[in-house]
Amino acid sequence: MIARRYWRTAFAPGAVVSEVARRFEVSTGLLYTWRRQALVQQAAPAFVQAKLVGSASSDAVELAMTVDFPNGVKVRIGSAAPCDLAAAIMRALK
């Protein structure tokens, strides 16, 4: 998409937004609008794939939910955690 290329160029390290706007013949406001729209779209909630992982042993299985974030952070919430605590953790991580 052309808009994405324009705003990424404009907001790249060392770039000057007004110079990029002049080069592409668009207003600086439009570049900021495109960037804001793209960032909102990236932050929008989305469905993610859930995988069931088999256990090596069927004895004493501990149930838990693990959330893997793109930055490598993993959050594990055990089945003994109260629902309101789990919900508060997920809201805080949003």
pLDDT tops 70 at residue 8: yes
* CA 85 to each of CA 38, 63, 77: distance values in angstroms, whole numbers, following the listed order: 32, 16, 9
Q: Express each pLDDT in 39-79 by its tens digit.
A: 877 766 667 777 777 666 656 667 788 888 777 878 888 88
Helix, strand or coil, per DSSP, at residue 27: coil
Domain residue extents for the chain: 2-43, 47-94
State mean pLDDT over 75-88. 85
pLDDT recorded at residue 59: 60
pTM equals: 0.44
Core vs surface per residue 17-50: b (16+ CB within 10 A) or e:
eeebbeebebeeeebeebbeeeeeeeeeeeeeee
Confidence category of residue 7, pLDDT binned at 50, 70, 90:
confident
Q: What percent of the chain has pLDDT over 70?
A: 85
pLDDT recorded at residue 62: 74
